[in-house]
Amino acid sequence: MGAVPDEWMPEEPVEIPITGELDLHVFRPNEVSDLVREYLAECRRLGLRRVRVIHGKGTGTLRTGVHRLLEQLPEVAGFDWPASAETGGWGATWVRLH
């Protein structure tokens, strides 16, 4: 697989709506850490204290990385995994913010 053509790369950052749900499926692994940090900070700023992070089931690599990051962030009061079957099961984690 080759490099991404320049015309596919956005010139400006892409704005993600802050809804209390972050689906990581469409992002590259190297984007996830900064994205999760910034998204949770913005949720907190907006008063959202419960956020669902959708990391998928897959091999568990993304989930493990997300959980390690959550353990390090001072704004994270805790997290629950797996989510209920209705909200993503093994493919999602609920995050509680201070």
Q: Considering the domain boundaries, does residue 3 fall inside one? A: no
Q: Which residues of 77-87 are buried (b: 16+ CB within 10 A; e: fewer)?
A: eebebebeeee
Query: Rounded CA gap, 58 and 79, in Å?
Result: 20
Give residue-wise pLDDT tens across range 29-78: 889 999 999 999 999 999 999 999 999 999 999 999 999 999 999 999 99
Whether residue 58 is contained in a domain is answered as yes
Q: What is the CATH number of the domain that holds 72?
A: 3.30.1370.110
Residue 65 lies in a domain: yes
Boundaries of domain holding 27: 20-97
Whether the per-residue pLDDT at 83 is higher than 70: the answer is yes
Predicted pLDDT at 26: 87
Please give the single-letter amino acid code of residue 90: W
Residue 28 lies in a domain: yes
- Number of folded domains that form the chain: 1
Could you give the count of Cα atoms lying within 13 Å of 85 in the half-sphere of its Cβ? 0
Q: Is 8 a member of any domain?
A: no
2 assigned to some structural domain: no
CA angle (91 as vertex; 40, 98 as ends), nearest 5: 25
